[in-house]
Amino acid sequence: MNMISEEVLALEPDIIAWRRHMHQNPELSFQEVHTTAYLTEELKKIPGLTLEFPTKTGVVAVLKGVQPGPVLALRADIDALPIQEETGLPYASTVPGVMHACGHDGHAAMQLAAAKLLAAERTSLRGEVRFLFQHAEELPPGGAVEMLKAGVMEGVDELYGMHLSSNFPTGTFGVRPGALTSATDRFDIRVIGKGGHSAFPETCVDPIVIAGEIVGALQTLVSRRIQAVEPAVVSVCMIHAGEAYNIIPGEVAITGSTRTFSKETRERLPKLMEELARGICAAHGADCDFKFTLGYASVMNDKALTASSRKVIEEHFGESAVLEIDPLMPGEDFSALQENCPGFFVELGARSEEKGITFPHHNCRYLMDEDALKYGVEYLYQLVRSRLSIS
């Protein structure tokens, strides 16, 4: 068991510095202009890399070995979230209302370090590595789709991704073959009633009462219409109606998300939802508009790549570093890049009870154990070497 190599340890101060710079200067999805410029500046310092700019934001660094071989793509996301940071860190976000609350700053820093380490060993590598610094993971339709359409995956044989996780302790890797993340989709239900004076509800068709019934009924779909062994979630997240305390509004807008894993459930659930919403509206004399928007598909871990990546983790960090994890309900647009390419996505633990680093992702007080960064860099470094080193 090798743990952390001298090469990675020597680079650790830079990794942390890169991460903290991006943490202080977060940018929202599709707006990562400064982040892309910063990464480009750092990548240009690394001999042997060719840079490409397939989309408005985001950058791809290409490293070619000295012999023909497989083409590997490594993907790191770079966007932040619309959250006001409340961590009190000395390097907290300087941008009001924007925060790296999901670890993407760490992802980009780790991949930048891996590019630097591997470029230094180019003469002992075959094939090609494409380092995808991808924009807009947080906002559907997502940046992965744009990069895919721009051709970044053409000729790629294997795809790898990683996510820092507040669910698992630092130094561990969450591994799962097959479906890793859920498909994340959006629904919009518009209940169209008849507004009027709150003193005369009998003259109205109250969409708020009807919407209440719909929200309650939606909760029974998973428990009573979907197989008990099939994971699924229906969450109502926004309800908008009315402008005055004494006026029954004419409409109510209900918005939320669904999380599914199987293709069959993903296709069936919106049909059940629409049937339910229209039925309740009709029973009260109201009309209903229903819209279902597909988001990210499930990340599917290729069994062969999962096995080979797990072997790398066990060899360098020990068998105890591998955690067998359950499917994850959050979505990931990494799945879009898997359209015609086998891939493997791993969860890297960055939680420390001892340090009080326990807040979840997408929280204004989210923290990351920076000790996790060296584990991620070591993993990427050894993973590529295991696949592309000239024997």
Q: Which residues contact 130 (CB under 8 A, 6 or more apart)?
A: 60, 61, 62, 63, 71, 72, 73, 74, 152, 156
Q: Is 288 annotated as a binding residue?
A: no
Q: Residue 93: is it exposed, middle or buried by C-beta count within 10 angstroms (0-12/13-18/19+)?
A: buried
Q: How many CB atoms lie within 10 A of CB 88?
A: 8
Give the C-alpha separation, 2 to 340, whole Å.
34
Element (H, E) at 78: none
Q: Is 104 annotated as a binding residue?
A: yes
Q: Is 240 annotated as a binding residue?
A: no
Q: How many residues comprise the chain? A: 391
Give the C-alpha separation, 272 to 226, whole Å.
10
CB-based contact 295:183 (threshold 8 Å): yes
Q: Is 12 annotated as a binding residue?
A: no
- Output the six-digit token pair for 209: 């009462």
Q: Is 213 annotated as a binding residue?
A: no
**CA 170 from centre of chain:** 19
CB-based contact 124:38 (threshold 8 Å): no
Give the C-alpha separation, 287 to 279, whole Å.
10
Q: Which residues are annotated as a binding site for Mn(2+)?
A: 102, 104, 138, 163, 362
Q: Which residues are annotated as a binding site?
A: 102, 104, 138, 163, 362
